[in-house]
Structure 1
């Protein structure tokens, strides 16, 4: 009897002021779990950047399938953050070579766009290695993109805060105004009036 294919899915960048929200979907075979657990795989937020970087090649080598998806700042402004996050997750799942039999979603909110079987898992990135692997891949891919975008949009410190609403980022927004990849729907409390776009 063939084994069920389970995919863990997670997102990163939901609360940022800048750039896309990223998601990853990961399918881990049973034999991958022990070496990944031994390597310290857990929720990406609990890992140092160096540790996450070391885990990426281990995850991609051990996974039977993995994929990334994203939704742009324009998608977020148009659809809202929940629907855009679901879009990123759906895109990651659709890029897997085979549709999983069950999707394990981090958090409490179901993936409304997914037509297959799914289960939500609170703190899933700490409790399920496939979700933890997805969180690490999504985090590393998004952070790498933000470092590249920092060169295209200098002055915001994107390479330092990855688009989150730090004091440095907020000060730069007030000084420079938003760029084309800022989430305008997130900036109401940051910007008190219209600013010139860079």
Structure 2
């Protein structure tokens, strides 16, 4: 059965898009990826994630990315934007998988095919773990590039999350067009 794991990254950030990845792994890829240490991206170092990316993309039957912009997050809310990022990743797989394994507790309301939510799915299913790693590495790479366009915020260090460094930069410089204004209301006001 072709099942796709889907996961997101960047949901709690103050800056940039929310990313998602969808991955379908053939049965033959499970043992090699498990022995390579594939698990939830948050449990891996950046170096280890970078090493796993080519292994995942070479082993995967299919994989794809999706994202939703900071403007979409501000206009429609983080839950809707996260769903759109996941749906976009799934649609880019080419054909619908027989089952979608969604990390977390919230189902994809707009997905019409079979799906199952899995709490801590990135630790339980290699498809979700692979999606977690790809989404994290691709989003982090984008934020590194954007840090050059928006210097002074420390994006290269915190990837857009709400750190003390990021807070101080926002108070000093104000938000960029890629900041999530709705996430900054308490910090900067309406």
Question: 1:30 corresponds to which residue?
Answer: 27
Q: In structure 1, what is the Cα distance between the partners aligned to 2:79 and 2:189?
A: 25
Given the alignment of the two structures, is residue 174 of structure 1 paired with residue 184 of structure 2, yes or no? Answer: no
Residue 192 of structure 1 deviates from its aligned partner by 4.0
Question: 1:89 corresponds to which residue?
Answer: 86
Q: In structure 1, what is the Cα distance between the partners aligned to 2:166 and 2:75?
A: 23
Matched pairs, number: 190
Once the two structures are superposed, the pairs formed by residues 1-198 of structure 1 within 5 Å of their partners are 4-192=1-189
Residues 151-195 of structure 1, C-alpha deviations (whole Å, 9 max, x = no match): 0001101000000000000110000000000000000111147xx
- Structure having the higher helix fraction is 2
SS at match of 1:69: strand
The TM-score normalised by the length of structure 2 is: 0.99
Q: In structure 2, what is the Cα distance between the partners aligned to 1:124 and 1:32?
A: 18
SS at match of 2:185: coil
Q: In structure 2, what is the Cα distance between the partners aligned to 1:99 and 1:137?
A: 19
Q: In structure 2, what is the Cα distance between the partners aligned to 1:192 and 1:145?
A: 28
SS at match of 1:189: helix
Q: In structure 2, what is the Cα distance between the partners aligned to 1:150 and 1:175?
A: 16
Question: 1:196 corresponds to which residue?
Answer: none
Uncovered stretches (5+) of structure 1, i.e. residues with no partner: 194-198
Uncovered stretches (5+) of structure 2, i.e. residues with no partner: none
C-alpha RMSD over aligned residues: 0.7
Q: In structure 2, what is the Cα distance between the partners aligned to 1:79 and 1:97?
A: 26
Stretches of 4+ aligned residues off by more than 4 angstroms: none
Residue 97 of structure 1 deviates from its aligned partner by 2.1
Q: In structure 2, what is the Cα distance between the partners aligned to 1:167 and 1:42?
A: 29
